Amino acid sequence: MPERRLRIGVMGGTFDPIHHGHLVAASEVAQSFDLDEVIFVPTGQPWQKPDVTVSEHRYLMTVIATASNPRFTVSRVDIDRTGPTYTIDTLRDLHAQRPDAELFFITGADAIRQILSWKDVQELWDLAHFVAVSRPGHELSVSGLPNQDVSLLEVPALAISSTDCRARVNRGFPVWYLVPDGVVQYISKHHLYRSVA
Ligand code: ATP
Ligand code: MG
């Protein structure tokens, strides 16, 4: 009997901050695709978002949010690489670390649309299977994408975004129950998002 290959989810994101929408997406894909592990990969300084919070804060919030789930881990590959993060580099690095594993890259309905504009698209498909999850406010469709390489998954709808969480903290509104308790406390302890719109 050939040994079953490890099935590993890769959840990339800015995680500024990580919220329950991210965690539900990862958990649902893990369940539906029989994943052994989901690796959360906070981005380095993203080229689309020059003003994001220091990587180390985003990394630590991601660790706090995922610590209690035995199948969730966090990787530093993107934050330790200099320069902007490209998904192709994330997948190449994780593939080099886990050459025998099957990788499943998890994105929301909004992020999958950017795939077509990524460089080296063909190598992306070779490195990972892509799973696009539903997200309130975004149509879940992969028209134009090679459908043998992209799966769509309907997940419980959580209309939460990091942008909204930052704006709430900035206005003095609570983010309890939108992000894990430890992340609420981390934001407060480090005075994050006080001066960010
Ligand atoms: P921002 O508002 O700063 O862009 P965000 O909430 O979109 O933050 P990201 O870190 O940009 O969070 O997203 C990481 C990944 O998680 C993306 O693939 C995104 O589509 C997905 N995602 C984020 N929020 C949700 C949600 N509420 N439901 C499903 N997927 C989500
Ligand atoms: Mg986003």
List domains and CATH numbers for the chain.
7-159 (3.40.50.620)
111 CA → ligand 2 middle, Å: 7
What pLDDT was estimated at residue 122?
84
What is the DSSP code (8-state) at residue 134? P
Q: Is 2 exposed, middle or buried (0-12, 13-18, 19+ CB in 10 A)?
A: exposed
pLDDT tens digits along 44-98: 975 666 678 899 999 999 999 999 999 999 999 999 998 888 899 999 999 999 9
The residue written with tokens 């003095």 in the block is 172
Which ligand lies nearest the alpha carbon of 166? 1
| C-beta atoms surrounding 72 within 10 Å | 21
Q: How far apart are CA 94 and CA 101, in angstroms?
A: 9
Cβ neighbors of 152 (< 8 A, separation 6 or more) are: 131, 132, 133, 134, 140, 141, 142
Q: How far apart are CA 62 and CA 17, in angstroms?
A: 8
14 CA → ligand 2 middle, Å: 7
134 CA → ligand 2 middle, Å: 13
pLDDT under 50: residue ranges of the chain:
197
What pLDDT was estimated at residue 197?
47
What is the DSSP code (8-state) at residue 103? E
What pLDDT was estimated at residue 116?
60
Which ligand lies nearest the alpha carbon of 22? 1
